[in-house]
């Protein structure tokens, strides 16, 4: 037993990297101007903001003009859906998404339904994949927008976005991708991908919180959802979070530069964790796919007869941070919509555990989890009226 804390919740958020923090710090104090100001303080910061925009565009295969800064991934998702729907309602009022999107997309869709739009929620298979044929079948003459996430935050499923995007492009329907979990981890080349809008969030790839971006392909019309000053070419008002922007750009540069090694390292850790859990805990199942179509840092298992929050609390007492799709941790009293969508019963979804790996994790961390978790499971099962040993 060590006193070291083990963080296995990188899908929730990551720590700002030292190299990122270092480039951010002077911008709190020395370079503090408002980039919209005419004077030298403003011009100075404006130069750095535009450099950051160029860098982010470069790392995504986009044009700088196509990158708009937002207050995070949720705002980017909200804006893409609402902004596009409002600007294009004259062409149609039907939107297609999947049943396993993040709530930033799903709850925006529910809002749009109240505003008179119709939304089709595509089902997914038992591993969480959207079937391109299902998308094709769901498209109607009045479909204006399709929104499908790149990689799922809970079960790590990587969607075939190139294929889904091609279908949309053929039918001249806008395609939005929530890439919050995949940015920096999976290659994204918007010069080649048939994607019209893409959301990302700085704090998921070792950048700061409260900053994100929406890629909007040239020619795509969006209405603003935040009104005020003329920032971001009049489309997203509000003083630039220049410190966040500069930090996010640096974080993405590092992530893209180190992507190959990072993915190789995480994949190895992920697979030894999955194998270890499956081999050491009876009546357990992996949620989401095995192999290359799974986010390299994602492990999500359901452990039968017990509930997720109990596991989290026990792990937390031992310094291990994880998360669960259990109803008891969702705050909504329903288990994760993603786990239900892949066909799990409430009871099995209740016993889910997500361990999401990141750059500071080691083989020792994995061994520590594999040492303590089977005992925690046995302990909780001994208490469960559903378990009959």
Partner 1 sequence: MEYTDKVMDHFMHPRNVGEIKDADGVGEQGNAKCGDIMKLYIKVEDGKITDAKFKTFGCGAAIATSSMVTEMVVGKTLDEALTISNQAVAEALGGLPPVKMHCSLLAAEALHKAIKDYKLKNGLPVDKCDDCGACCHDHGHEDEE
Cβ 301 to partner 1 shortest distance, Å: 17
- State which of residues 219, 291, 331, 389 lies at the interface with partner 1 (CB under 8 A): 331
Q: In degrees, to the nearest 5, what angle opens at C-alpha 104 toward C-alphas 314 and 353?
A: 20
The correct pick among 5, 43, 137, 346 for binding partner 1 (CB under 8 A) is: 346
Near partner 1 by CB under 8 A: residue from 347, 363, 364, 371: 347
Sheet containing 118-122, strands listed edge to edge, beginning at the edge strand earlier in sequence: 67-70, 212-216, 197-201, 174-178, 143-147, 94-98, 118-122
Q: Which is nearer to partner 1, 32 or 387 (CB)?
A: 387
Among 71, 156, 310, 374, the residue binding partner 1 under the rule CB under 8 A is 310
Q: Does 1 bind partner 1 (CB under 8 A)?
A: no
> What is the three-class DSSP state of 315?
helix
Q: Which is nearer to partner 1, 172 or 388 (CB)?
A: 388
Smallest gap from residue 340 Cβ to partner 1 (A) = 11
* Window contacting partner 1 (CB under 8 A); options: 91-99, 139-147, 181-189, 330-338: 330-338
Burial class (CB in 10 A: 0-12, 13-18, 19+), 125: middle
Residue 291, burial from CB neighbour count under 10 angstroms (0-12, 13-18, 19+) = exposed
Site stretch for partner 1 (CB under 8 A), options 12-20, 191-199, 242-250, 376-384: 376-384
Q: Contacting partner 1 (CB under 8 A), which of 9, 75, 154, 307? A: 307
The candidate with the shortest Cα–Cα distance to 245, out of 15, 46, 13, is 46
Nearest to partner 1 of 275, 347 (CB atom) = 347
Q: In 3D, which of 249, 248, 223 has the Cα closest to residue 237?
A: 223
336 binds partner 1 (CB under 8 A): no
Instruction: Choose which of 24, 220, 243, 327 interacts with partner 1 (CB under 8 A).
Output: 327
Read off the tokens for 120. Answer: 């089709």
Determine which residue in the list 97, 147, 152, 329 makes contact with partner 1, applying CB under 8 A: 329
Kindly indicate which of the ranges 134-142, 232-240, 281-289, 303-311 contains the residues binding partner 1, using the contact rule CB under 8 A.
Answer: 303-311
* 384 is a site residue for partner 1 (CB under 8 A): yes
Report the residue from 259, 309, 318, 321 that binds partner 1 according to the rule CB under 8 A.
309
Q: For partner 1, which is the closer residue by CB, 162 or 313?
A: 313
The residues that are catalytic are 328
Angle at 273 between CA 270 and CA 276, to 5 degrees: 150
CB of 383 to partner 1, least distance (A): 5
Q: Is the CB of residue 100 less than 8 Å from the CB of residue 337?
A: yes
Taking CA atoms, 377 is separated from 113, 198, 268, 283, in Å, by: 42, 40, 24, 11
Q: How far apart are CA 331 and CA 105, in angstroms?
A: 18
Strand partners, 282: none
Nearest to 275 by CA among 370, 152, 365: 370
Q: Which residue has the tokens 């079948």?
A: 137
Q: Which two tokens stand for residue 272?
A: 């030894």
If binding is defined by CB under 8 A, does position 389 make contact with partner 1? no
Number of residues lying near partner 1 (CB under 8 A): 25
Exactly one of 306, 322, 338, 369 binds partner 1 (CB under 8 A); which one? 306
Segment interacting with partner 1, rule: CB under 8 A, options 152-160, 162-170, 294-302, 378-386: 378-386
Helices and strands in the chain: count of H runs, count of E runs: 15, 12
Tell me how far the alpha carbon of residue 196 is from its chain's centroid.
18
Q: Is 335 in the site for partner 1 (CB under 8 A)?
A: yes
Given the rule CB under 8 A, which of 77-85, 135-143, 234-242, 309-317 is the region that contacts partner 1? 309-317
The site for partner 1 (CB under 8 A) is made up of 305-310, 313-314, 317, 326-329, 331, 333-335, 346-347, 350, 382-386
């Amino acid at each position: 037993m060590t006193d070291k804390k083990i963080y296995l919740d990188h899908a929730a958020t990551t720590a700002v990297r030292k190299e990122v923090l270092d480039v951010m710090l002077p911008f709190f104090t020395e370079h503090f101007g408002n980039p919209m100001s005419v004077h030298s303080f403003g011009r100075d910061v404006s130069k750095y903001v535009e450099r950051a925009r160029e860098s982010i565009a470069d790392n995504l295969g986009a044009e700088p003009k196509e990158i708009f800064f937002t207050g995070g991934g949720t705002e980017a998702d909200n804006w893409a859906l609402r902004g596009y729907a409002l600007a294009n309602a004259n062409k149609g009022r039907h939107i297609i998404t999947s049943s396993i999107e993040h709530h930033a997309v799903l709850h925006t869709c529910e809002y749009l339904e109240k505003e008179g739009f119709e939304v089709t929620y595509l089902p997914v298979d038992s591993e969480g994949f959207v079937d391109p044929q299902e998308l094709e079948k769901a498209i109607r003459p009045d479909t204006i927008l399709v929104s499908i996430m790149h990689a799922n935050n809970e079960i790590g499923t990587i969607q075939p976005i190139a294929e889904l995007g091609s279908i949309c492009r053929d039918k001249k329907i806008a395609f939005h991708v929530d890439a919050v979990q995949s940015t920096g981890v999976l290659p994204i080349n918007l010069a080649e991908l048939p994607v019209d809008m893409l959301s990302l969030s700085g704090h998921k790839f070792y950048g700061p919180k409260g900053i994100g971006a929406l890629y909007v392909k040239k020619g795509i019309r969006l209405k603003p959802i935040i009104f005020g000053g003329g920032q971001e070419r009049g489309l997203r008002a509000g003083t630039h979070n220049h410190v966040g922007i500069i930090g996010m750009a640096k974080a993405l540069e590092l992530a893209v530069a180190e992507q190959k090694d990072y993915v190789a390292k995480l994949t190895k850790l992920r697979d030894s964790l999955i194998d270890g859990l499956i081999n050491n805990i009876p009546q357990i199942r992996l949620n989401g796919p095995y192999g290359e179509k799974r986010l390299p840092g994602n492990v999500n298992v359901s452990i039968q007869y017990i509930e997720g929050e109990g596991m989290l609390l026990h792990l937390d007492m031992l310094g291990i941070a994880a998360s669960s799709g259990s109803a008891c941790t969702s705050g909504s009293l329903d288990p994760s919509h993603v786990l239900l969508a892949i066909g799990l019963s409430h009871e099995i979804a209740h016993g889910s555990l997500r361990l999401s790996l990141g750059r500071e994790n080691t083989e020792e961390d994995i061994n520590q989890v594999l040492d303590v978790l089977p005992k925690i499971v046995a302990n909780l099962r001994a208490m469960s009226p559903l378990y009959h040993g």
